[in-house]
């Protein structure tokens, strides 16, 4: 359904580039964009809410400064979450998937990113009040106007997608997936990507491995220490290779804003884990062998 060859196998996640992370200046962000493309990472993942609705505009200015041809990169963004933020007038965090809001939000993203089209627009999280018909009307208008190339979702279950697809095809699903958070392998989400021909993307692909010290991460660290020597690879690369081996052909969205780690992430695409090593890592994550 989705032309997955249109995207780089490692996707640069921009959430931490601005005020929610590194706080890069425009010049630093422009350099980071150039570094990513130099390493072969040409797809950039956004959401309107990142940086409290500031990241897209900062990236747009930095991209213009970089001088890179728009046709050489791919831009993904998300809409639907309404946060309490300056200029929003929201009393409470909520979701909005009305036709009018989707159209307005897409227009805002286009303006902020300084582009005439989005390669992929995602609905950010499922709302209990969403209905497929207004979503379909908005997406069809945006496609017919040439403002988006493809439409997908993020954090949706297979049943959510089935409901949306009663009115419009869904070409991609971006979900949390990592060695420390493998639930989508078991709840039908990745199965749905395979059977539906959907592009699967993983946010937080390194999981909590570098963030928490607990029995799960300690078991994984022990296995990774041995495999790092065997494959002459870093922990980052092994964690990404574990995801990349899944038959859903998952695209990791790597959120680091550090150049060397971005370069290492792209190298992970060349690392082929042996079958039993993949299961060694899964056993370490779960704390037991597969049934």
Report the C-alpha gap between 208 and 212 in whole angstroms.
6
Mark whether 50 is an active-site residue: yes
The DSSP element (H or E) to which 169 belongs, if any, is none
Report the C-alpha gap between 21 and 41 in whole angstroms.
20
Q: State how far Cα 251 lies from the chain centre.
A: 8
Active-site entry in 7, 50, 95, 186: 50
Report the C-alpha gap between 95 and 236 in whole angstroms.
34
151 CB contacts (<8 Å, ≥6 apart)?
120, 121, 122, 139, 143, 168, 169, 170, 171
Q: Which residue has the tokens 């227009």?
A: 107
SS3 152: strand
SS3 201: strand
Among 123, 120, 236, residue whose Cα is nearest residue 178: 236
Q: Residues 232, 183: contact at Cβ < 8 Å?
A: no
- Beta strands per DSSP E along the chain: 11-13, 43-45, 74-79, 81-82, 94-95, 118-123, 148-154, 172-176, 199-203, 251-254
Which residues are catalytically annotated?
50
């Amino acid at each position: 359904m989705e032309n997955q060859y249109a995207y780089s196998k490692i996707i640069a996640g921009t959430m931490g580039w601005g005020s929610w992370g590194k706080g890069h200046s425009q010049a630093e962000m422009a350099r980071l964009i150039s570094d990513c493309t130099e390493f072969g990472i040409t797809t950039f993942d956004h959401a309107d809410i990142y940086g409290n609705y500031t990241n897209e505009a900062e990236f747009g200015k930095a991209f213009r400064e970089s001088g890179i041809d728009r046709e050489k990169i791919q831009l993904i963004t998300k809409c639907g979450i309404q946060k309490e933020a300056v200029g929003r007038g929201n009393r409470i965090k909520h979701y909005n998937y009305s036709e009018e809001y989707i159209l307005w939000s897409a227009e805002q993203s286009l303006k902020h990113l300084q582009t005439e089209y989005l390669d992929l627009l995602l609905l950010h999280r499922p709302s209990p009040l969403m209905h497929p018909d207004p979503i379909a009307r908005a997406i069809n208008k945006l496609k017919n106007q040439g403002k988006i190339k493809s439409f997908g979702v993020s954090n949706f279950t297979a049943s959510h997608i089935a409901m949306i697809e009663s009115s419009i095809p869904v070409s991609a699903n971006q979900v949390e997936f990592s060695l420390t958070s493998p639930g989508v392998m078991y709840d039908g989400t990745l199965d749905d990507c395979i059977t539906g021909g959907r592009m699967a993307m993983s946010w937080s692909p390194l999981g909590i491995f570098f963030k928490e010290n607990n029995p799960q991460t300690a078991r994984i660290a022990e296995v990774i220490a041995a495999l790092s020597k065997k494959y002459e690879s870093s922990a980052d690369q092994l964690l990404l290779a574990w995801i990349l081996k899944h038959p859903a052909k998952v695209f990791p969205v790597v959120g680091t804003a550090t150049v060397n780690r971005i370069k290492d992430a792209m190298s992970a695409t060349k690392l082929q884990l042996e079958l039993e090593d993949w299961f060694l890592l899964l056993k370490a994550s779960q704390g037991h062998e597969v049934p």
